[in-house]
Structure 1
Amino acid sequence: MPQLEVDGAALTYDDEGPRDGGGVPLVFVHGWTANRHRWDHQVAHFAERRRVIRLDLRGHGDSTGAGVRTIAELADDVLALLDHLKVERCVLIGHSMGGMIGQTIALARPELVERLVLVDSISRMTYSRGRGWLMGASTLVPYKLFVAANIQRAFAPGHPREEVRRYIEASAATPKEVVMTLYGAMRAFDVLDRVGEIQAPTLLVHGVHDIQLPVKQMLRMAAAYPNAMVRMIDAGHELPVEKPAELTAALTDFLGGRTPARD
């Protein structure tokens, strides 16, 4: 597992697939409390014919480091890796918090992003006063309970319990400081008024049953994009692992310039 030292963190990453032909590299960015293996299905599919890069964000998975306070700082880590790997143009694919990172990069370095894919992600978190109070109060419960509640509700009803339990355990292994700080960073993230600047073709893929980042918030974001298409899939918030084949098919269509078929 190669690693890159960036500002006190060791970022673990994978750089797979052929370097010539097949289009620009695909760069996969995972979400909150997750790791690069959320993308196993997509990487196994695409790395057969094109370069694919993925990483564990600072403090997640096999990467070390903490101290990050904002989504922009995570985006800086990703940019440091891409600069290190001499990637001049790519397709950026982000899940949830990874999509927030993707939007940040697309705004800061538009020449780098050929296409953008946002999976179960939004540009601004919006909630009622009551919902905001509940979100704040949830941080006061024991850490493992906080993580378990958030990961449990990320999956659509009926998803196999044993698999959900595995993801809860993996998420709870993420350092508490990282998890709680980035929980606040996601709540503070807001680029909705700027996404109209993103000219790259953009695919928004969202789970119909996503209650973490509801569909109506994604649709408001989609309306602000100048060059976006939407694909809905019968899943919750964890599309890369709930419906991996359907997500891979949607990505394949988008990368081929086709409008993804709806379920």
Structure 2
Amino acid sequence: MPQLDVDGATLTYDDEGPRDSGAAPLVFVHGWTANRHRWDHQTAHFSATRRVVRLDLRGHGDSSGAGLRTIDEVAADVLALLDHLHIERCVLVGHSMGGMTAQAIALSHPERVERLVLVNSISRMAYSRGRALLMAASARVPFKLFVAANIQRAFAPGYPREEIRAHVRASAGTPREVVMTLYGAMRAFDVLDRVGEIRVPTLLVHGLHDIQLPVRQMLRMAAAYPDAVVRIVDAGHELPVEKPAQLTAALESFLRTTAPAPA
């Protein structure tokens, strides 16, 4: 596993696929308490024909470190990896918090983004009453129980329980400091009034049964984008693993039919 040291953290990443395909690299950014393996299906599919990069964010998966308190700071880590890999311009794909990170990069460094794909993500954080109560209770319940409750809510009804338990175990390995400080970062994230500045082709893919970040919040974001393609999938919040083939197909179609924005 290649790694990069960045400001007291060690970021683990995968860099796969041909460098000479002529297509901009795909860069995948996972969400809160997840890891780069959320993108296994997409990586296996696209790395056959183009360069694909995915990373474990600081404090997640096989990456070490903590201390990130804003989405812009998460974005800085991703940009550091792009610089390290000499990737000047990419197709940026983010899930949930990763989608917030992708929007932050598209706004601060638009020259680095050829296309943007946001999966189960929004531009302004707004919690349901149930999620707000769960977060308020987090200080009074065992940390692993708190993580388990959040992850279980993320999947649509009927998703296999054993697979949910595997994701719970993986998420529970994320340090409490990382989980809670990045929760605060997501809660403070708000670029809804600026998304009209993002002029690259954009795909918004969302799970119909997402109760973490409901579809109505995504549609509010979609209305603010100047020209976004919207796809709704029969899934919950964890669309990359609930319906990986459908997400890959949506991304494949988007890449084939949408002309890149000028550099």
Secondary structure at 2:101 match in 1? helix
**In structure 2, C-alpha distance between the alignment counterparts of 1:171 and 1:229, rounded to whole Å:** 31
For residues 7 and 177 of structure 1, do their structure 2 counterparts lie closer, same or farther at Cα, with a shift above 3 Å needed? same
Secondary structure at 2:257 match in 1? coil
Task: Please tell me whether residue 18 in structure 1 is matched to residue 15 in structure 2.
Answer: no
Residue aligning to 2:245: 245
Asked if the contact 2:2/2:14 (under 8 Å) is kept, the reply is yes
**In structure 1, C-alpha distance between the alignment counterparts of 2:87 and 2:176, rounded to whole Å:** 32
Residue aligning to 1:235: 235
RMSD (CA atoms): 1.5
Residue aligning to 1:80: 80
Extract unaligned runs of 5+ from structure 1: none
Task: Please tell me whether residue 42 in structure 1 is matched to residue 42 in structure 2.
Answer: yes
Residue aligning to 2:3: 3
Extract unaligned runs of 5+ from structure 2: none
**In structure 1, C-alpha distance between the alignment counterparts of 2:242 and 2:129, rounded to whole Å:** 31
Shift of 1:188: 1.1
Amino acid at match of 2:114: E
- Residue identity over aligned pairs, in percent, reads 79
Amino acid at match of 2:218: M
Amino acid at match of 2:147: V
TM-score when scaled to structure 2? 0.95
Task: Please tell me whether residue 54 in structure 1 is matched to residue 54 in structure 2.
Answer: yes
Secondary structure at 1:162 match in 2? helix
Amino acid at match of 1:120: N
Secondary structure at 1:254 match in 2? helix
Task: Please tell me whether residue 145 in structure 1 is matched to residue 145 in structure 2.
Answer: yes
Residue aligning to 2:194: 194
Asked if the contact 1:24/1:90 (under 8 Å) is kept, the reply is yes
Aligned residues: 259
Residue aligning to 1:255: 255
Asked if the contact 1:58/1:66 (under 8 Å) is kept, the reply is yes
Residue aligning to 2:116: 116
Residue aligning to 1:97: 97
Residue aligning to 2:223: 223
Residue aligning to 1:183: 183
Shift of 1:137: 2.9
For residues 204 and 139 of structure 1, do their structure 2 counterparts lie closer, same or farther at Cα, with a shift above 3 Å needed? farther
For residues 250 and 128 of structure 1, do their structure 2 counterparts lie closer, same or farther at Cα, with a shift above 3 Å needed? closer
Shift of 1:30: 0.4
Secondary structure at 2:107 match in 1? helix
Amino acid at match of 1:223: A
Residues 226-250 of structure 1: CA distance to partner in whole angstroms, max 9, x if unpaired? 1211000000000110000000000
Asked if the contact 2:17/2:51 (under 8 Å) is kept, the reply is yes
**In structure 1, C-alpha distance between the alignment counterparts of 2:131 and 2:147, rounded to whole Å:** 17
Moved more, 99-108 or 131-140: 131-140
Asked if the contact 1:22/1:49 (under 8 Å) is kept, the reply is no
Asked if the contact 2:127/2:212 (under 8 Å) is kept, the reply is no
Residues 12-61 of structure 1: CA distance to partner in whole angstroms, max 9, x if unpaired? 01110000124100000000000001000000000000000000000000
**In structure 2, C-alpha distance between the alignment counterparts of 1:165 and 1:22, rounded to whole Å:** 40
Shift of 1:129: 7.0
